[in-house]
């Protein structure tokens, strides 16, 4: 009797390495286990993931969900062979959005897709995802790794993330009592974060930006790959310490300052920023000079050094900023809410 063929050999010949996928699951299980928190019931390997809201202290709460990716920052990470930060980016893009609704991120799932699985690269990415989850205080409770030969170029991969959080109904943001005079407080970014990379890559393609050039003790490429900051723990601590003082939050992502700040404001109010007060970042100056970009273009494309903008009740900004500082942040007052006049922009930077 002829020896039976390997049942997976035909699939392997088509480009899918099932053994590599199994090896990756074994390799990343400790990363996920390190993110466990009250409420997390699942371990990697099941068909679904479970989370107990009551065990997490959210007996009567509203769930908040967010899904996002990393964008063309992945192209730069692949080209430079540095995958260490993009997992944090993926988590940050989701959990900072959940935070903007006043919610605590509870759990996270990831989707990693590639043409041929590189276990080492994938493990580095997922180790970063676990690191991001620890920074956010949420559990990595599952995910999906898809190997799709012929669909991705060799060495390429894509990422998507999905997070769920919860908040007591009375703590949901934005609040309904935003008013002229409320103070705008900025928390600094680590650089470009995960938005604007199509323009960054265009500058490089046009010879206006050199990834290998020295910059701030490293290289331009390394500075561009600095992961998105995760603001969850310090902001939740400030919300706990100064109940009701933080009225709204804007996560500064695609569309920059001018595109994201208006998303937290009701009709009739505008954000009046002082450009000189905004947190400065040397990478932003480099990009602006390299592309000869106007202030308006920068502020509609990049975070310009500000990763999060909070609206704080007038008269309570000092206490909130002190709570943020105690939690490790460096908050900066950058302006106030004003009455919005007819035909005026909802986000004004002067």
More confident residue, 46 or 347: 347
What does the pLDDT look like over 213-224, one tens digit per residue?
A: 999 999 999 999
The architecture that CATH gives domain 183-349 is Alpha-Beta Complex (3.90)
By DSSP bridging, strand 269-273 and strand 347-349 are: parallel
CA distances for 49 relative to 12, 38, 45, 109, 309, angstroms: 29, 14, 9, 9, 33
> Among 341, 183, 189, 199, which residue's Cα sits nearest to residue 257?
189
- Domains of the chain, by residue range, sit at 9-171, 183-349
Residue-by-residue DSSP string for 262-313? GGG--TTEEEEE-GGGSPP-HHHHHHHHHHT--HHHHHHHS-TTEEEEEEE-
More confident residue, 57 or 239: 239
pLDDT band at 212 (very low <50, low <70, confident <90, very high): very high
pLDDT at 6: 55
Radius of gyration over every alpha carbon of the chain, rounded to an integer in angstroms: 22
1 CB neighbour count, 10 Å cutoff: 3
pLDDT band at 76 (very low <50, low <70, confident <90, very high): very high
Task: Tell me what the pLDDT averaged over the chain comes to.
Answer: 90
What does the alpha-carbon distance between residue 209 and residue 74 come to, in Å, rounded to a whole number? Answer: 18
Query: For residue 19, is pLDDT > 70?
Result: no
Mean pLDDT of 98-116: 95
What does the pLDDT look like over 133-190, one tens digit per residue?
A: 999 999 999 999 999 999 999 999 999 999 999 988 889 899 999 999 999 999 999 9
Query: For residue 304, is pLDDT > 90?
Result: yes
Query: For residue 230, is pLDDT > 70?
Result: yes
Residue-by-residue DSSP string for 57-93? T-TTEEEEEEEE--TTHHHHHHHHT--TTHHHHHHHH
How many residues would you count in the chain?
350
Report whether 304 contacts 188 (CB < 8 A): no
> Among 29, 15, 27, which residue's Cα sits nearest to residue 120?
27
Classify domain 9-171 by CATH number: 3.30.1330.10
pLDDT band at 55 (very low <50, low <70, confident <90, very high): confident
pLDDT at 8: 47
Residue with tokens 């309570």: 316
pLDDT at 43: 55
> Among 314, 131, 334, 328, which residue's Cα sits nearest to residue 236?
328
Query: For residue 235, is pLDDT > 50?
Result: yes
What does the pLDDT look like over 317-347, one tens digit per residue?
A: 999 999 999 999 999 999 999 999 988 999 9
pLDDT band at 2 (very low <50, low <70, confident <90, very high): very low
Helix (H, G, I), strand (E, B) or coil at 203: helix
């Amino acid at each position: 009797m002829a020896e039976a063929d390997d049942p997976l050999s035909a699939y392997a010949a088509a480009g899918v390495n099932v053994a590599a996928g199994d090896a990756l699951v074994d390799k990343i299980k400790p990363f996920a286990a390190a993110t466990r928190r009250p409420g997390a019931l699942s371990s990697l390997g099941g068909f679904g993931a479970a989370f107990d809201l009551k065990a997490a202290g959210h007996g009567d709460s509203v769930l908040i969900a967010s899904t996002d990716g990393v964008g063309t920052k992945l192209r730069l990470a692949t080209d430079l062979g540095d995958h260490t930060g993009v997992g944090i980016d993926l988590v940050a893009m989701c959990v900072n959005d959940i935070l903007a609704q006043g919610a605590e991120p509870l759990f996270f799932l990831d989707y990693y897709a590639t043409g041929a699985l590189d276990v080492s690269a994938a493990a580095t990415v997922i180790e970063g995802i676990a690191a991001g989850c620890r920074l956010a205080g949420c559990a990595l409770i599952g995910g999906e790794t898809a190997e799709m030969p012929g669909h991705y170029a060799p060495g390429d991969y894509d990422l998507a993330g999905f997070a769920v959080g919860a908040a007591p109904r009375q703590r949901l943001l934005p609040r309904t009592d935003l008013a002229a005079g409320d103070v705008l407080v900025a928390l600094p970014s680590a650089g470009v974060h995960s938005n604007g990379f199509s323009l960054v890559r265009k500058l490089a393609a046009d010879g206006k930006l050199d990834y290998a050039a020295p910059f701030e003790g490293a290289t331009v490429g390394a500075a561009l790959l600095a992961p998105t900051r995760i603001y969850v723990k310090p902001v939740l601590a400030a919300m706990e310490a100064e109940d009701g003082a933080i009225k709204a939050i804007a996560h500064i992502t695609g569309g920059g300052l001018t595109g994201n700040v208006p998303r937290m404001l009701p009709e009739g109010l505008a954000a009046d920023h002082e450009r000189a007060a905004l947190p400065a970042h040397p990478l932003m100056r480099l990009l602006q000079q390299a592309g000869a970009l106007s202030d308006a273009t920068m502020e509609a494309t990049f975070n310009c050094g500000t990763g999060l903008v909070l609206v704080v009740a007038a008269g309570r900004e000092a206490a909130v900023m002190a709570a943020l500082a105690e939690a490790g942040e460096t908050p900066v007052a950058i302006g106030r809410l004003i009455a919005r006049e007819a035909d005026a922009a909802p986000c004004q930077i002067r």
